Copies of this chain bind each other. A is one copy, B any other.
Amino acid sequence: MNQLNENIRSEISDYQIQQFQTLVTKLFQCCQERAHYQCERFQLPDAELRCLLLFGEERYLTSKGIAYKMNVVKSRVTKIVNGLVQKKLVQRIPDPEDSRITLLSLTTDGHKKLIEINEFYDFVNHQVLLQMEPEQRKAMLTNLDILKASMESVKEMMV
C-alpha cells in the first residue's frame, strides 16, 4: 500500500510536463525580450553589452579569457571588442610581459556605462522581487535554485 502510494505520488502527469514546458518557454521569452530592451536602452549590441559586464569582475581581461567566459570562439571576441573599442568603452593595452597578449580594460566612459548598466539591472531585479511577499520571495529563490540544479544535472546527463 505504501509502495503503491509512493508510485502514484512520484508519477508525473502530462499536465505537469506541459505546464512546466509552457512556464520555461515564457520565462525564456521574457528574458530575451529584456535583453533586447537593454540593447536599445544602452545602444549596444547584446554581445557587446554582455562583454562589458565581464569587466565588473576583473580589471584586465584578454581576448582568450573573454572567449572562455562568453563561450564563443576567439574570432568572435575580436569583433565584439572592436565594437567596444570603436565606441571608446574599452581600450587595448599591450601586455608588458608577453607581447602576444593585448590586455583589455575599461575606459572612463566604459566605466560609467558599466555602472549605469549594473544600476539598471539591480533596479529591474529589485522590482521583480518586490512583486512578492518576503516569505514567498525566499521560497521562490530556493525553488529556482532547485530548478537550476535539476536542469543542469539533466544537461550533464545528456552530453
Contacts and interface: CB of A to CB of B under 8 A. Distances in A.
Contact of A148 (B17, B23, B136): B23
A31 B136 CA distance: 25
B134 A9 contact: yes
Given A23-B148, A24-B144, A144-B144, 15 more contacts: A9-B134, A10-B133, A20-B125, A20-B129, A20-B141, A21-B122, A23-B145, A27-B27, A27-B151, A28-B31, A30-B148, A128-B151, A131-B149, A131-B154, A140-B146
Count of this chain's copies in the oligomeric assembly: 2
A36 to B, nearest CB: 10
Interface of A: 9-10, 12, 16-17, 19-21, 23-24, 26-28, 30-31, 33-34, 37, 121-122, 124-134, 136-137, 139-141, 143-155, 157-158
